[in-house]
């Protein structure tokens, strides 16, 4: 662990240039999960753009009930409450693009603060040197007295040293320190993350996903790769990732040898990048 400047709301506000996101920031030394806290706040009616940050999580969550390794003193764990003010017919587009644009915004924030390249593994993993440096967990909360809202959760490994990772993650995970050998001020990174998120969210709400889709596709290292996709049904597919669809899905042309040569559009799956 490399000595990280302490997380502090005043320090975040020093460089925060957003209009709406982060008007309210709740910072905790420890939470079970920032997504759970943001959900509780959303249910209590907090405004759009409320931010929850924790220095450590005792039960950090990944997708599909997986866990997110969340030690204290080094990393970023944050969640935002979003209340989309959109007509009902635009909600499917909003919900399918939200995880992708959150990952896009996080990658742009990391690149802007570190000057080191970040790519995206579809749908929402942040990679540096092919290893996972961050992840996104988006949840749509329907049954709430305060009306429906979304929680977007972001975890980024910032100042963790390689030996701080549990052995099962050492080969697949990395941190900004690992990649750049520079201690990153998490307050500065948080401020940049909120700014990039605000810009992407405004673009999606105001103009739809077309420009964001281009930016996402440029950054997505899954495109053009041979991949293995594991679907929720347990089915596994191997093929070449061709493109991102208008609904954020990943188009894969399956192996000519394994199946008939055909394309499949995946809405949700776990992807492994294979060597071609």
The pair of three-digit structure tokens given for residue 207, joined into one six-digit string: 């103009």
Q: Which of helix, strand or coil describes residue 119?
A: strand
In the bound state with ligand BT5, the residue whose beta carbon lies nearer, of 65 and 88, is 65
Q: List the alpha helices (DSSP H) in 30-78.
A: 34-43
The one among 2, 48, 56, 63 contacting ligand BT5 by CB under 6 A? 63
Residue closest to ligand BT5 (Cβ): 135
Binding string, residues 115-154; x marks residues near ligand BT5 by CB under 6 A: ----------x------x--xxx---------------xx
Q: Which of helix, strand or coil describes residue 242?
A: strand
The closest of 197, 200, 192, 121 to 158, measured between CA atoms, is: 192
Is position 77 an interface residue for ligand BT5 (rule: CB under 6 A)? yes
Residues 137, 148: Cα–Cα separation, whole Å: 17
Residues 208, 213: Cα–Cα separation, whole Å: 9
Stretch of residues binding ligand BT5 (CB under 6 A), selected from 9-17, 32-40, 43-51, 234-242: 32-40
The one among 18, 26, 69, 117 contacting ligand BT5 by CB under 6 A? 69
Is position 190 an interface residue for ligand BT5 (rule: CB under 6 A)? no
Is position 228 an interface residue for ligand BT5 (rule: CB under 6 A)? no
Parallel, antiparallel, or unpaired for β 250-254 and 263-266? antiparallel
Residues 162, 170: Cα–Cα separation, whole Å: 7
Is position 50 an interface residue for ligand BT5 (rule: CB under 6 A)? no
Q: For residue 17, report the phi and psi dihedrals to the nearest 5 degrees.
A: -120, 20
The one among 12, 16, 25, 34 contacting ligand BT5 by CB under 6 A? 34
The one among 39, 50, 157, 159 contacting ligand BT5 by CB under 6 A? 157
Stretch of residues binding ligand BT5 (CB under 6 A), selected from 62-70, 201-209, 210-218, 252-260: 62-70
Cα diameter, the chain: 58
The one among 99, 155, 239, 248 contacting ligand BT5 by CB under 6 A? 155
Q: How far is the CB of 19 from ligand BT5 (least distance, A)?
A: 23
Write out the binding residues for ligand BT5, residues 170-189 only, by CB under 6 A: 173
In the bound state with ligand BT5, the residue whose beta carbon lies nearer, of 57 and 240, is 57
**By CB under 6 A, how many residues form the interface with ligand BT5?**
26
Contact of 73 with 157, CB cutoff 8 Å:
no
Q: How far is the CB of 243 from ligand BT5 (least distance, A)?
A: 21
Residues 189, 114: Cα–Cα separation, whole Å: 9
Q: List the alpha helices (DSSP H) in the chain.
A: 9-15, 34-43, 91-114, 176-180, 186-207, 210-219
In the bound state with ligand BT5, the residue whose beta carbon lies nearer, of 35 and 159, is 35
DSSP-assigned letters across all residues of 84-99: ----GGGHHHHHHHHH
In the bound state with ligand BT5, the residue whose beta carbon lies nearer, of 57 and 192, is 57
Binding site for ligand BT5 (CB under 6 A): 33-35, 57, 60-64, 66, 68-69, 77-79, 125, 132, 135-137, 153-155, 157, 169, 173
């Amino acid at each position: 662990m490399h000595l990280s400047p302490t997380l502090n709301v005043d320090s975040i506000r020093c460089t925060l240039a957003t209009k709406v996101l982060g008007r309210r920031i709740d910072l905790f030394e420890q939470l079970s999960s920032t997504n759970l806290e943001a959900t509780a706040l959303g249910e209590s009616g907090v405004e759009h753009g409320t931010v929850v940050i924790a220095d450590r999580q005792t039960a950090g969550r990944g997708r599909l009930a997986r866990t997110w390794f969340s030690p204290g003193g080094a990393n970023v764990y944050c969640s935002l409450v979003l209340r989309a003010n959109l007509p009902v017919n635009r909600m499917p587009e909003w919900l399918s693009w939200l995880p992708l644009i959150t990952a896009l915004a996080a990658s742009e924030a990391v690149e802007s603060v570190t000057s080191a390249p970040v790519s995206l593994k579809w749908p929402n993993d942040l990679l540096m040197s092919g290893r996972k440096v961050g992840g996104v967990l988006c949840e749509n909360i329907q049954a709430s007295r305060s009306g429906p809202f979304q929680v977007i959760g972001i975890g980024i490994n910032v100042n963790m040293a390689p030996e701080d990772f549990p052995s099962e993650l050492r080969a697949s995970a990395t941190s900004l320190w690992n990649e750049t050998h520079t201690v990153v001020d998490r307050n500065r990174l948080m401020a940049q993350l909120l700014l990039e998120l605000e810009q992407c969210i405004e673009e999606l709400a105001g103009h739809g996903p077309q420009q964001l889709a281009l930016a996402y596709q440029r950054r997505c290292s899954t495109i053009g790769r041979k991949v293995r996709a594991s679907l929720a049904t347990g089915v596994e597919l191997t093929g070449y990732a061709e493109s991102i669809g208008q609904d954020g899905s990943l188009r894969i042309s399956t192996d000519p040898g394994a199946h008939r040569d055909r394309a499949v559009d995946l809405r949700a799956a776990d992807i492994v990048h294979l060597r071609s």
